[in-house]
Each structure stands twice: as C-alpha cells, then as structure tokens.
Amino acid sequence: MSIKEKAQEDILTDEKKSNLSQIILYNDNINTFDHVIETLINVCDHSPTQAEQCTLIVHYKGKCSVKSGTLFDLKPMLKNLISANLTAEII
C-alpha cells in the first residue's frame, strides 16, 4: 500500500468515527442498581459485567457513555432507556 493510499484510508476511517454518537446515561436517585443493570443488558446488549461497570461509573461519576454508534442505531435504544425511566441523551 502506498503512502497516498494509506493516507486516504486514514481519512475515511476518521470520517466514519466522526459520524458516531454516544448515549450518555446519567445518575439519578430513583432507579436501583439492579434495574439499571437489567435495562443496559436488555436495551444496549451489554454483558452483565459491562452493565455493572457502567452502572458503578454512573453512580460515582454522575454519567457514563453506555453505547456508541450511528444515530439510526442509537435512537431506538435511547427511547427504550427513557421508557425504562432512566435519564439519558445522545451526544
């Protein structure tokens, strides 16, 4: 692969990354750890360990990025998180 081809590939990769958004989950004083963990497993397809780690980060840091992807993929997940009474947004 030439240097020019490599540079073009790097540019395309960066463009794909820049089109990604994130779901940010925020801490609240309403939901239990178990509810948040279960919801992340069901909605965001997290493993139990990943869901538990995200829940702890949200609890101690106030927020956590729980999923990244395209807006097309994230919007239904956000809707389901909000329907489960979690506080989240896409950035």
Q: Give me the DSSP letters along the chain.
A: --HHHHHHHHHHHHHHHHT-EEEEEE--SSS-HHHHHHHHHHHH---HHHHHHHHHHHHHHSEEEEEEE-HHHHHHHHHHHHHTT-EEEE-
Mean pLDDT over residues 20-47, rounded? Answer: 98
| pLDDT computed for residue 19 by the predictor | 84
pTM confidence score: 0.81
* Domain residue ranges in the chain: 20-90
Share of the chain above pLDDT 70, in %: 80
| pLDDT computed for residue 68 by the predictor | 97
Report the CATH fold assignment for 20-90. Answer: Ribosomal Protein L30; Chain: A, (3.30.1390)
Q: Rounded mean pLDDT of the chain? A: 90
